[in-house]
């Protein structure tokens, strides 16, 4: 049996799951992760990368009223406590407000015409570091990556040079960039939990 590690970009999986109408929670994430592993593979660990919800107070773009963003990281702590899971946290940064529609009409704008703009920081770097670590230590023979982000390409190249096999797990309606496919050994179609 090949030893494998599943690496999940939480932002990527969350978008796909919500577009498909699924409730994105720790139970769903755990089931989805296990569906990525085939019968002839031995699961060493599931590495999950995401950010806790943003917490902070900012002025709304039109009214100038204070708006509080508040969320709990309880679901990440729940996930981290599950068997075989390790959660790697990035940071969610507030980048201001963006118009919901472009072009914007200057007349009669309200706060409802804008949405908050958040950016994940540090997630891609952590994925790359873990891929490189697996390649250097030989702790697994295959990594199964759930991501659509090309920022990890240098780490994927290094993993393959070191002899690691790379599998890209593709959930329904996911579009894997060709650059990721060029630096992977296999693409594996994975269905949604309960489907």
> Is residue 101 situated within a structural domain?
no
- Which CATH number goes with the domain that contains 62? 3.40.50.1010
> Is residue 40 situated within a structural domain?
yes
Question: What's the domain count of the chain?
Answer: 1
Q: What is the extent of the structural domain holding 63?
A: 2-92+120-189
> Is residue 181 situated within a structural domain?
yes
> Is residue 113 situated within a structural domain?
no
Backbone angles phi, psi at 14, to 5 degrees: -60, -45
> Is residue 62 situated within a structural domain?
yes
pLDDT in tens, 174-190: 888 999 999 999 999 99
- At residue 72 the predicted structure's pLDDT band, cuts being 50, 70 and 90, is very high
> Is residue 124 situated within a structural domain?
yes
> Is residue 148 situated within a structural domain?
yes
Is residue 149 within 8 A of residue 9, CB to CB? The reply is yes
What predicted TM-score, i.e. pTM, was given to this entire model? 0.89
How open is the CA angle 72-74-77, to the nearest 5 degrees? 135
- At residue 23 the predicted structure's pLDDT band, cuts being 50, 70 and 90, is very high
């Amino acid at each position: 049996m090949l030893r494998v590690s599943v690496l999940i970009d939480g932002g990527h999986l969350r978008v796909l799951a919500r577009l498909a109408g699924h409730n994105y929670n720790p139970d769903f994430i755990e089931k989805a992760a296990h569906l990525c592993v085939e019968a002839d593979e031995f699961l060493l660990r599931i590495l999950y990368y995401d950010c806790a919800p943003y917490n902070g107070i900012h002025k709304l773009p039109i009214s100038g009223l204070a708006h509080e963003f508040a969320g709990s990281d309880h679901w990440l702590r729940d996930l981290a406590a599950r068997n075989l899971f390790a959660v790697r946290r990035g940071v969610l940064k507030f980048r201001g407000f963006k118009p919901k529609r472009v072009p914007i009409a200057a007349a009669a704008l309200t706060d409802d015409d804008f949405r908050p703009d958040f950016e994940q920081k540090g997630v891609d770097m952590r994925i790359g570091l873990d891929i490189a670590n697996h390649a250097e230590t030989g702790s697994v023979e295959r990594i199964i990556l759930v991501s659509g982000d090309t920022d990890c390409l240098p780490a994927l190249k290094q993993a393959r040079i070191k002899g690691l096999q790379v599998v890209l797990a593709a959930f329904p309606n996911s579009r894997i960039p060709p650059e990721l496919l060029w630096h992977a050994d296999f693409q594996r179609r994975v269905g949604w939990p309960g489907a």
